[in-house]
Amino acid sequence: MKDRLIFAMDVPDCNRARALAEELGDTVTFYKIGLELMMSGGYFELLEWLLAKDKKVFCDLKFFDIPATVGSAVRQLKDRGASFVTVHGNQSIMEAAAANKGDTLKVLGVTVLTSLDRGDLDDLGFDCDIEDLVLSRARRALEAGCDGVISSGLEVQKLREHIDSKLLVVTPGIRPVDNKPQGDQKRVVTVDKAFANGADYIVVGRPIRDADNPRAAAEAIQATIAAQVGA
């Protein structure tokens, strides 16, 4: 049950990341480490440190390059102990990632970033409804051999209605108290709503990291998950 909460370790350096993990203790069992930590140095040492503490790790690196390069990057990562990795691209990119993931690493295709709204998609040249785009990308991810997708909680219910139920759905953009956009997140949902819509995992960052008491914030979210999923 506790694995359903993935804490987004979006901090400037690995020392801060370790301190946060120590503070959170057994309230968090799954961590997302992304591009900021990758560029700070010590990324793989942090990955190994978390694994040694019996934590699961989601490498949110959003690989996006020519298929051969993405395939090689996933192949380099597959034996390092991570549970999830993200890819961001077209069919051939996702196919290359899936073909090189091995037996334990799961590849998640990014559908539409939760920081994007209708106006942002217009700027990017996507002349279609957000929901339709998410469904299309999820179908293609499944066809490519990916294990799941990253999707806003706003679209998860439609994914469950129209896409194979075996597809893992990981939902960022979570706000525990209300449904108001905060910061750069525009398409957000509450913890309850994400799981009611059918999410398998939620990714929470700032509501825990920036709380006066991060451990208490994580415990509160875990209690909400237990009540919602365990009911």
pLDDT, tens digit, for every residue of 117-151? 555 455 555 555 677 777 888 999 999 999 999 98
Q: Looking at residues 11-34, what average pLDDT do you find? A: 97
- Could you tell me where the beta strands, DSSP code E, fall in 42-89? 56-63, 84-87
Q: Looking at residues 65-89, what average pLDDT do you find? A: 97
| CATH classification of the domain holding 131 | 3.20.20.70
Give the range of the structural domain holding residue 150, as residue numbers without chain letter.
2-229
Supply φ then ψ for residue 166, to 5 degrees: -75, -10
Whole-number pLDDT of residue 187: 47
pTM of the model: 0.89
Cα dihedral sign for 57, 58, 61, 65?
A: positive
In total, how many domains does the chain have? 1
The mean predicted confidence, pLDDT, of the chain is 88
Angstrom distance (rounded) from CA 31 to CA 9: 7
- Choice among 62, 78, 106, 158 that is catalytic: 62
SS3 199: coil
Tens of pLDDT along 192-226?
999 999 999 999 999 999 999 999 999 999 999 99
Whole-number pLDDT of residue 128: 59
- Over its C-alpha atoms, the chain yields an Rg (Å, rounded) of 17
Question: Going by C-beta distance under 8 Å and a sequence separation of 6 or more, which residues neighbour residue 3?
Answer: 29, 30, 56, 201
Angstrom distance (rounded) from CA 144 to CA 109: 10
32 classed as catalytic: no
